């Protein structure tokens, strides 16, 4: 990373949002770069002397409907004030961003969201991306295989939570199979007790 990095936090009305749109366009030229869920979200952009590096948005359930919320566990969504949904993570393809840089970016965002009262991040993930999010601390929610209503892509629900909010969420006991793309794992699961969640500080990082 060239020089000190700066993390910007803003809404879609900010001029910085144009940079986010451009990063999305560069990272995935064939995808839709903007949607209705951008309006109420918090947007984050990491930049340094080389230019914009990483961007992501975080939707807050307290502000409105989340992308694919109809597939999220109802008992979790009942407490909307503590739920967020991070998404649209993109990296500048012209600038190398290693895993450590992405982890640091996500950790800074997580801390800011926690300060605002967020305790649970629930996301929808395209199946081939499940192995990418797992090392970042996200866990699969069992029985949540679905087809994304707008994109038509096979997807799963994943979560990252504080221990007290993980109780009662079904996570995959057969997650290794899920990582290999074998997603027919809805049968062999049990309820997860909060005490079983492996945590680093207050945030759960592993599915054992």
Model confidence pLDDT, tens digit, residues 180-205: 433 334 433 333 333 332 222 222 22
- Residue closest to 89 by CA, chosen among 97, 80, 81: 97
Q: pLDDT value at position 142? A: 85
Q: pLDDT value at position 197? A: 28
| Residue 205 DSSP SS3 | strand
Cβ 196 vs Cβ 208: under 8 Å: yes
pLDDT digits (tens, 9 = 90+) for 153-182: 999 999 988 654 445 555 555 444 444 433
The enclosing H or E element of 44 equals: strand 42-48
Q: pLDDT value at position 204? A: 28
Cβ 44 vs Cβ 5: under 8 Å: no
User: Which residues make Cβ contacts (< 8 Å) with residue 111, sequence separation at least 6?
Assistant: none
User: Which residues make Cβ contacts (< 8 Å) with residue 79, sequence separation at least 6?
Assistant: none
Q: Which position has the higher pLDDT, 96 or 130?
A: 130
Q: pLDDT value at position 115? A: 87
* pTM of the model as a whole: 0.77
Phi–psi pair at 75, nearest 5 degrees: -70, -25
Per-residue confidence band for 56, with pLDDT thresholds at 50, 70 and 90: very high
| pLDDT at residue 125 is higher than 80 | yes
- The tally of CA atoms less than 13 A away on the side-chain side of residue 80 is 9
Least confident window among 48-52, 56-60, 186-190, 201-205: 201-205
Q: pLDDT value at position 64? A: 93
Across the chain, mean pLDDT equals: 79
| pLDDT at residue 140 is higher than 70 | yes
| pLDDT at residue 16 is higher than 70 | yes
The residue written with tokens 């090392």 in the block is 135
Q: What is the CA radius of gyration of the chain?
A: 17
- Residue closest to 89 by CA, chosen among 51, 117, 123: 123
Written as six digits, the tokens of 28 are: 């995935």
Write the DSSP assignment of 112-138 as a string of letters. HHHHTT--EEEEEEEGGGHHHHGGGT-
């Amino acid at each position: 990373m060239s020089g000190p990095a700066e993390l910007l936090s803003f809404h879609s009305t900010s001029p910085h949002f144009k940079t986010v749109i451009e990063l999305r366009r560069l990272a995935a030229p064939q995808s839709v770069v903007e949607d209705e869920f951008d309006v109420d979200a918090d947007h984050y952009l990491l930049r340094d002397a080389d230019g914009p590096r990483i961007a992501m948005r975080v939707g807050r359930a307290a502000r409105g409907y989340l992308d694919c919320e109809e597939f999220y566990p109802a008992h979790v969504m009942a407490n909307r004030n503590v739920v967020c949904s991070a998404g649209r993570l993109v990296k500048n393809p012209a600038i190398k961003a290693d895993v450590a840089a992405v982890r640091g970016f996500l950790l800074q965002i997580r801390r800011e969201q926690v300060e605002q009262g967020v305790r649970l991040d629930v996301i929808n993930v395209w199946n081939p991306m499940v192995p990418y999010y797992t090392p970042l601390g996200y866990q699969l929610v069992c029985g949540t295989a679905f087809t994304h209503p707008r994109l038509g892509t096979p997807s799963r629900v994943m979560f990252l939570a504080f221990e007290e909010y993980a109780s009662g969420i079904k996570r995959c006991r057969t997650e290794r199979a899920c990582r290999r793309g074998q997603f027919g794992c809805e049968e062999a699961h049990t309820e997860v007790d909060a005490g079983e969640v492996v945590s680093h500080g207050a945030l759960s990082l592993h599915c054992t």
